[in-house]
A and B are shown apart, each in its own frame.
Chain A
Amino acid sequence: DQQVKQNSPSLSVQEGRISILNCDYTNSMFDYFLWYKKYPAEGPTFLISISSIKDKNEDGRFTVFLNKSAKHLSLHIVPSQPGDSAVYFCAASETGTYKYIFGTGTRLKVLA
């Protein structure tokens, strides 16, 4: 049972435009969500997080939106840059469980 899903395996965006990556979850007990960027054969790099008491968090070009009623979160990257090309994972955790559940990833390609 995949508790965290990223339904788009890949996404291509022109440089300078907005990239929107989506993530859905099923467990209503998740209360903290994170986005990671990953290059091949490297560890995930933390980008941005959001707790369930917020609906938006912004850090530079990256903004994460959380819609708890829809159990949906999204990552917006504006403007997109070629260096943003990577695989993006969302992850969710539930306080007290020690576990972080990762989505299947979305490969973002930013075209110059």
Chain B
Amino acid sequence: DTEVTQTPKHLVMGMTNKKSLKCEQHMGHRAMYWYKQKAKKPPELMFVYSYEKLSINESVPSRFSPECPNSSLLNLHLHALQPEDSALYLCASSQEGWGMETQYFGPGTRLLVL
């Protein structure tokens, strides 16, 4: 089973709203990732968690707040977003994140900020 699930599938929010994206995997992977993808562009790395610790923050604005409550779950808390934050948000996981591993992606959450 190489499944990564993400909820919700679609999200529309206003600039003053607070919402959360959720990602789950049951492959025993210890590295989890958040990516942002705009139309016709490659996925851009936002955050990496390894063994539930934040390993990489790619200078993402503080209106995005990641959380890894346990090794299977990854959340992305959203607050005071801007319309330019509208994108497909992808979660991925891999064995440990250290190297020579396959990343498996979830289906993504399509976010629209009004």
Kindly identify, within residues 68 to 112 of chain A, every residue whose CB is under 8 Å from any CB belonging to chain B.
89, 91, 93-100, 102-105
- The answer on a CB contact under 8 Å between A32 and B42 is no
CB distance from B113 to the nearest CB of A (A): 16
Question: Could you list 5 A-B pairs, sorted by A, with CB under 8 Å?
Answer: A32-B100, A98-B97, A99-B56, A100-B45, A104-B42
CB distance from A105 to the nearest CB of B (A): 6
On chain A, which size bracket covers the interface?
20 to 34
- The answer on a CB contact under 8 Å between A43 and B102 is no
Provided the pairs A98-B48, A98-B50 are in contact, do residues A44 and B102 lie with their beta carbons within 8 angstroms? Answer: no
Q: Of A31, A91, A102, A105, which is within 8 A of B100 by CB? A: A31
In whole angstroms, what is the CA distance A32 to B102 when docked? 9
The residues of A that contact B61 with a CB separation of less than 8 Å are none
Q: Does A1 contact B (CB under 8 A)?
A: no
In whole angstroms, what is the CA distance A55 to B99 when docked? 18
- The answer on a CB contact under 8 Å between A44 and B99 is no
CB distance from B49 to the nearest CB of A (A): 9
With A46-B104, A98-B48, A98-B97 already in contact, 8 other A-B pairs whose C-beta atoms are closer than 8 Å: A32-B99, A32-B100, A32-B101, A42-B107, A43-B108, A89-B42, A96-B99, A104-B42
CB nearest to A9 among chain B residues:
B40
The residues of B that contact A49 with a CB separation of less than 8 Å are 102
Q: Which A residues are within 8 Å of any B CB, using their own CB?
A: 31-32, 34, 36, 41-46, 49, 51, 89, 91, 93-100, 102-105
The residues of B that contact A43 with a CB separation of less than 8 Å are 4, 6, 90, 92, 105-108
- The answer on a CB contact under 8 Å between B107 and A95 is no
In whole angstroms, what is the CA distance A44 to B35 when docked? 11
CB distance from A108 to the nearest CB of B (A): 15
Provided the pairs A34-B102, A34-B103, A46-B102 are in contact, do residues A102 and B42 lie with their beta carbons within 8 angstroms? Answer: yes
The 8 A CB mask of B1-40 against A (1 = contact, 0 = none) is 0101010000000000000000000000001010000001
